[in-house]
Structure 1
Amino acid sequence: MWHQQEIHLPETPRGFHLITNDIARALPCLAECSQGLLHLQLMHTSASLTLNENSDPDVRHDLDAFLRRLVPEGLSYFRHTLEGPDDMPAHVASSLLGTQLCLAVRDGRLALGTWQGIWLGEHREHGGSRRILVTLTGC
């Protein structure tokens, strides 16, 4: 089985957002796959995808706080500033965390650990809606 589609996510505020259920709901064909791989590719360069703690929202807060301190706005050596002070830090955060995930599928579901969830990292104040290209392969 090969399946590919685009998932559209609404605009979210800056920070990390748990999107595991959004991905699963958009892919009813997951139920037909007993084993396989799901590749997620975020079609943007100022946001990210990551797999992390899905229970305590403090983890999402703390990672956002860490990244804001690691890559603050207003660094004097950034040249790419025409799109606003949050744009270049967003590109750096996106590169650090990445824009792709490859996840196992088992018995018609994402094979995630007990406390794992898929997060969208929104690194801009007003990043807009986001698109994820998903590719499912399996049997």
Structure 2
Amino acid sequence: MWHQQEIHLPETPRGFHLITNDIARALPCLAECSQGLLHLQLMHTSASLTLNENSDPDVRHDLDAFLRRLVPEGLSYFRHTLEGPDDMPAHVASSLLGTQLCLAIRDGRLALGTWQGIWLGEHREHGGSRRILVTLTGC
């Protein structure tokens, strides 16, 4: 089986947002796949995808706080500033965390660890809606 589609996510505030259920809901064909791989590709350069703790919201807060300190706005050596002070730091954070995930499918579901969830990292104050290209392969 091969399946590909785009998932559209509404605009979210800056920070990290659990999107595991959004992904699963958008892919009813997962139920037909006993084993396979799901590739997620975020179609943007100022946001990211990551797999991390899905239970305690403090983890999402702490990761966002760390990234804001690691890549703050207003660094004097940034040249790419025409789109606002949060744009270049967003590109750096996106490159550090990445824009793709490849996840196992087992028994018609995402094969995630007990406390794992898929997060969208929104690194801009007003990043807009986001698109994820998903490709499922399996049997």
- Bucket of the pairwise TM-score, normalised by the shorter protein: over 0.9
Q: Which runs of 5+ in 2 are unaligned?
A: none
Note the C-alpha offset of 1:114. 0.0
* Cα offsets for 1:19-60 (capped at 9, x unmatched): 000000000000000000000000000000000000000000
CA RMSD in angstroms comes to 0.1
Q: Distance in 1 between matches of 2:138 and 2:106?
A: 9
Note the C-alpha offset of 1:128. 0.1
* Cα offsets for 1:45-78 (capped at 9, x unmatched): 0000000000000000000000000000000000
Q: Distance in 2 between matches of 1:10 and 1:41?
A: 16
Q: Distance in 2 between matches of 1:9 and 1:58?
A: 23
Q: Distance in 1 between matches of 2:7 and 2:18?
A: 15
Q: Distance in 2 between matches of 1:54 and 1:24?
A: 15
Q: Distance in 1 between matches of 2:20 and 2:56?
A: 14
Q: Which runs of 5+ in 1 are unaligned?
A: none
* Cα offsets for 1:67-110 (capped at 9, x unmatched): 00000000000000000000000000000000000000000000
- 2:41 aligns to what SS in structure 1? strand
Asked if residue 21 in structure 1 is aligned to residue 21 in structure 2, the reply is: yes
So what's the TM-score if we normalise by structure 2? 1.00
Q: Distance in 2 between matches of 1:89 and 1:105?
A: 33
Asked if residue 67 in structure 1 is aligned to residue 90 in structure 2, the reply is: no
How many pairs does the alignment contain?
Answer: 139
So what's the TM-score if we normalise by structure 1? 1.00
Q: Distance in 2 between matches of 1:11 and 1:58?
A: 21
Q: Distance in 2 between matches of 1:6 and 1:56?
A: 29
- Percent identical among aligned pairs is 99
Q: Distance in 1 between matches of 2:65 and 2:47?
A: 15
